[in-house]
Each structure stands twice: as C-alpha cells, then as structure tokens.
Amino acid sequence: MSFIIREGQEKDVQAVLDLIIELAVFEKEPDAVEITVDDLLRDGFSKEPKFKLFVAIESGLVIGIALFYERYSTWKGKTIHLEDLMVTKSKRKIGAGKALYTAVLKYAHQHHFNRVAWEVIDWNVNAINFYKSTGAVYLKDWSVVQMNKEGLEKFIQNN
C-alpha cells in the first residue's frame, strides 16, 4: 500500500475542496459547489465541528477523502451520513477508496453508531457494485428529496 489513511487536518482543506470540485465534475454538476476553504475550515475545525474527515495521503498529497457527519434516525438512533467518498481519478484502483470507506465504517462501529447511510448516483454502477459487495443494502426504491437555498427563500416568502 503506497498511501496512508489519517484524520483530516486544517492543512488539508484546499486539497479537500479540490476533490469536492472534482467529484462535482464527475457527477456532471461542475458549477454546484458553493463552499469555500473558509467554510470548510470553520465547519470542520471549529470548537463544534459539523463534519469529520478522513484523508488518503500518498507522497504527502491528499489523493482521497471521506467526509461524514452524525445525524439521528427516528428508526435507528445514532447514524452517520457519509457525504462524500472520493479518490482523485489518477489514483483510483489502488485501494484508497476502500481504505477510506473502511475507516468510516470502523469509526461508526467503534463509536456505537447504529447505521451508516449515503447516496449514490444510479449510473455509478462501479460504486453501487462495490457497496453491495461489502454488504451494504442498495435502496433503489427510495428517492432523495432536497430544497436548495433559493427554494428555501421562495418558500419562506410565500408562507
């Protein structure tokens, strides 16, 4: 293994943002990323962080990330949401993605979470097959519902 997995640090934030942008491009949403380095620093490394982060490091460079946060399920209790699992394109197939995924699942197990959940785009068959191969359940009958900032503003103005 030519890489290591460790907790993310403030010094990693620019590389983390670069990988988030690379993921948005991969998911055909190149203009969707609105956050900044300052947002990531504030939200991930303040007194009460909003997320946790594992990074894959090779030769001193961040080549992958797993960004996740705690939430609560009325059915299951303490739950982790895996927001992003990403390895830069040139470093895929070396095991970094699986190692990051494993780090999140180990964290969940060690901290007594009852479930880890995430979304995957339906055309990303490689990811779906990988998750299934690990024992994860693919809930294809459920749909993701979101309201963006503009939708929130419009809703509030009209209600």
CATH number for domain 4-158, candidates 3.40.30.10, 3.40.630.30, 3.40.220.10, 3.30.70.1380: 3.40.630.30
Are 108 and 80 spatial neighbours (Cβ–Cβ below 8 Å)?
yes
Residue among 72, 101, 107, 131 flagged as catalytic = 131
Alpha-carbon span 31 to 2, nearest angstrom: 33
Structure confidence at residue 36 (pLDDT):
97
Alpha-carbon span 80 to 52, nearest angstrom: 10
Structure confidence at residue 56 (pLDDT):
98
Q: Where are the domains of the chain?
A: 4-158
Alpha-carbon span 85 to 100, nearest angstrom: 7
What is the Cβ-side half-sphere exposure of residue 123, based on CA atoms within 13 angstroms?
3
3-state secondary structure of 86: strand
Q: Where are the alpha helices (DSSP H) in 27-122?
A: 37-45, 96-110
Are 3 and 94 spatial neighbours (Cβ–Cβ below 8 Å)?
yes
pLDDT by residue, tens only, the chain of 159 residues: 699 999 999 999 999 999 999 999 999 999 999 999 999 999 999 999 999 999 999 999 999 999 999 999 999 999 999 999 999 999 999 999 999 999 999 999 999 999 999 999 999 999 999 999 999 999 989 988 999 999 999 999 999
Structure confidence at residue 126 (pLDDT):
93
131 is catalytic: yes
Are 26 and 42 spatial neighbours (Cβ–Cβ below 8 Å)?
no
